[in-house]
Structure 1
Amino acid sequence: MSEELDDLSVLDEMDIPEVMRDESITITTTKQDSRSGVMPLLIGGGIGFGILAVGAIALWQFVLVRSIPSETSETTGASTESAITETTEPETTSNTGVQPDQLLGHFAYDEAPSWELEFVYPSGTLKLRPAAAEKYRQMSAAARQNGINLKLISGFRSIEEQEYLFFEVKEQRAQDATKRAEVSAPPRHSEHHTGYAVDIGDGNVPGTNLSPSFENTAAFNWLQSNAARFSFELSFPRDNPQGIAYEPWHWRFVGDQDSLELFYKSRNFSETAAESDTETEN
């Protein structure tokens, strides 16, 4: 019997948690009762702790899930607002007073590629774009039938040639840049670069060539009445908005889409901007 009690004592030491042990208590029937009461308490406490832990985890996941869409929404909203701002900002920018590329009253023009030019006359040296060359030949032939001798003085002009006409002649005549620009465009700003512009004189009165007195010739009067039939117009009439000196000899071709846009888009933009500035000042 004593051996059995000793074995039971060892078993109790192994089964009972360390925190519940009390070496001063002897193995009695009361000890058995205490152990039977503690175990349910431990089990119940463990289950309660587990429930609390699961609840805490579930609550944390719920809060996390709720917070993610909010952050995404805020980020997306900010990105969308930024995109809208970037897209619409140019529309709110005013062009009032902004001028296209101009220098001393002359618009900028690219030099026509050499392969897009042709000789106006096979025996001549002057070139134009094909559409302009064809219409000039037709116009000259029509004028000749009316006894008018149109003289083609100038057609396409390269940037290099324009540099001489502007800078070298300016020095020879002791003109300042502003004065020279009244009668000659700075390089890269001449209509002659385009292959659509021509200088016309009267073959019967050569002394009026490239002079305001050309307006008194039969050739000019004929051009005034008939040039539009061949899609040519005067580039710099009196009191033109660009402030260029009156040039009755300088005409340009506007008979196709390319030439029309080339000359009129810049002109319309400039005139619209100038009108807007005037309205603002008033």
Structure 2
Amino acid sequence: MDIPQWLNIIIRSVLLVMVLFLLTKWLGKKQLSQLSFFEYIAGITIGSIAAEISTGLETNFFHGLYSMLVWTAIPFFAGLLAIKSKKARDFIEGRETVVIKDGKIQEENLTKQKYTVDELLHLLRKKNAFQVSDVEFAVLEANGDLNVLLKKEKQPVTPQDLDLETAPVKVPETVILEGKVVDSGLAACGLTREWLDVELQKLGIVLDNVYIGQVDSYGQLTADLYDDKIKLPKPQEKPMLLSALKKCHADLESFALATENEAAKQMYKENSEKLAEIIKNSEYLLVN
């Protein structure tokens, strides 16, 4: 019995989706921006062959599969060769190119890569570099990405630059998801449902209205609500702690001035200086 053409197309298409999935798994996981020119061309060709086999009823199904296997095997073995040989890798995948050095565009390298100055400036803006002279080094990778190193004086100030010690930042834990409590997230933070109820009361919200709630490294609950019109109050724990530290520092200085006892005066003064150092090192963490 002859199979209707529409059913034949459906069967071919389903089989080809399964074959393409298996072939893609065989080639490995790479995003489109990470593909070499060779892999990109092979991918387009394999897709074209699959489309032709799926709808071209006059063509031989297995001949198309053989062609797809060949086009899949070539980039696969080329990738293995690239792993083994640096020269082969440079030829197949390409090499990175320096396009800016010491704040100056390398015009010859830019021309070799078929890039215009406008295209380079566009890529720089995507990296938050709006002036060429601010760039110490810019490299155009083989996959087309541009990596930029700003000059030292143009880089953002970090706590390390200020000789400030910082606590390690932990991954935020999700404790509420779509109005439901995530007990595993609470357990990872060492917190309980009772703590969560108190925090929700402080924010003036109910559990059912929370789309996602997370606890950050400092133990603060942040929430995204279903109703975006509701404005949540900013957490006050850190500002209140900073205020308490500053008040304590002022009290110690006041006690040092008020007492006649030299030993007590020295004690108040020393602790006042220690507290001032603590406030200086932690203030940037407590202002927000």
TM-score range, shorter chain: under 0.3
TM-score by structure 1 length? Answer: 0.19
The structure that has the greater radius of gyration is: 1
TM-score by structure 2 length? Answer: 0.19
